[in-house]
Amino acid sequence: MKLIVIAGPPSAGKTAVVKQVIKRYSGEKRCAYLKIDVVRAFEDEELAAEFGIPTKKVYSGDVCPDHVGILVMKDAIGWAASERADIFIVESAGLCLRCSPFTTQSLGIVVLSAISGVNTPLKMSAMLALSDIAVVTRTDLVSQAEKEVFREKIREVNEGLDIIETNAVQGTGLRYLFRAIDEQAEISDPEKIVLKGAPPLGVCTICVGKKEIGWQNHFGVIRKLEGADFLFRGD
């Protein structure tokens, strides 16, 4: 089974890219899909209805979705294997853009929208730096100059990154993505999968919903105004 992790900002076109991948391999390989989102997600139902593939979703609620994605990933690989999937696609909501949910033994795809402004690649450098492929969507909507500059900015963050430009709804230019999926190795040992980088996954008591102000009301990594860096409070 191959593992594909797709991340990127909301409305970048992640699900449109996922649909093109499932369509490309339908009848040839069995795909399974997991969506990790914060409050609501509909993609799993849509994809199950459209392609009849096994899908699942996880709501992360008060915890960072990328963090939850990492926590559930091992169980999810087991689930996809029990569904006899050849390709397991994990789509992450990717909200704060400081995180990078990409792991070893997987193909890490970051999806960016060309209409999100030429400085966007610089703002999501953590995700770009650890991905294998950047898919730039909606390139049909922007001027040649902006397309070229957008690409330059991606290369500024990750010089060697493979960049694929597409109108994901039509699927133009995705032949290079499919080639990368074809060439991607299968998972060799799920026990050995690790995150490619250490993301700033804050799981302090604020992250999980305690609203009181002041470090005295919190546990975990805390900070006082004066005299100290980050401290650990608790067991």
Q: Which residue in 165, 187, 168, 161 sits closest to 176, CA to CA?
A: 165
3-state DSSP call for residue 28?
A: coil
Pick from 5, 130, 135, 154: which binds another protein (CB under 8 A)? 130
Site for another protein in 182-211 (CB under 8 A): 196-197
Pick from 29, 173, 190, 221: which binds another protein (CB under 8 A)? 173
Q: Which two tokens stand for residue 221?
A: 């990594």
145 binds another protein (CB under 8 A): yes
What is the Cα–Cα distance from 119 to 125, expressed in whole angstroms? 11
Smallest distance from another protein to CB 191, Å: 20
143 binds another protein (CB under 8 A): yes
What is the Cα–Cα distance from 126 to 99, expressed in whole angstroms? 6
37 binds another protein (CB under 8 A): no
Pairing of strands 220-223, 230-233: antiparallel
Candidate ranges 32-40, 41-49, 141-149, 211-219; the one touching another protein (CB under 8 A): 141-149
Pick from 48, 95, 96, 115: which binds another protein (CB under 8 A)? 115
What is the Cα–Cα distance from 46 to 6, expressed in whole angstroms? 17
Smallest distance from another protein to CB 173, Å: 5
* Contacts of 83 by beta carbon, 8 Å cutoff, 6+ apart: 30, 32, 54
Name the residues that contact another protein, by CB under 8 A.
115, 117-118, 129-130, 132, 140-149, 151-152, 158-165, 170, 172-173, 175-176, 196-197
